[in-house]
Amino acid sequence: MKLYYSPGACSLASHIALIEGGIEHETVKVDLKKHETENGEDFYKISPRGYVPAIETEDMGLLTENPAVLAYVADRMGAPPQGTDRYRMLEWIGFTGTEIHGGYHPLFGGDSDERQAKAKDGLAKKYRLAADLMEGHDWLVGNGPTVADNYLFVTLLWADKFGIELPQEMKDFRERNMQREAVKQAMADEGLS
């Protein structure tokens, strides 16, 4: 399996899962501004969408989009959540992708100060909602981290970068994730620690 990633981007969630699952993989760094791999390849020729994560799989070829990639990797980890927990995991991936990740677009895109302030305020509200939805649990689903936790965690790294106000529960969640060996390794591999 080959993971195309950009350091600190949402592809970090998949990178963490691949390491945690003990899944043999290769990583290829992508410069998203130039749309070029570290080997000088045009990333659009690899993935017409032009963004990460993208994974080359043996059975499906190229797979993109966080919900699909994260679910695929979770299934390959050997013990993906089952039954109700699987649907809760997918629910969290959807919430994180649409409500939180999507809320960062004005910040990543360098919009006006007014739009950025509005985005930060909206993200702070979504993180408060996430804290409420966790209902005091350490992890999003079940008794341990899943790929959904990885995704939410990555967005919390962005929250620091952009100065988003976080509830204590989200700060604690981020810190719990920072202590995981797979997180430490993936971040080191991506030059983030």
Express each pLDDT in 19-68 by its tens digit: 999 999 999 999 999 999 999 999 999 999 999 999 999 999 999 999 99
Torsion of CA 47, 161, 187, 87, to 10 degrees: -70
Position 90 scores a pLDDT of 96
CB atoms closer than 10 angstroms to residue 55: 25
Q: What is the pTM of this model?
A: 0.96
Calculate what percentage of the chain has a pLDDT beyond 70. 99
Express each pLDDT in 134-148 by its tens digit: 999 999 998 999 999
Helices in 33-146 by DSSP H: which ranges? Answer: 43-46, 66-76, 83-95, 105-108, 113-134
**Domains of the chain and CATH, by start:** 2-77+182-189 (3.40.30.10), 83-180 (1.20.1050.10)
Going by their DSSP bridges, the two strands 26-31 and 36-37 should be labelled as antiparallel
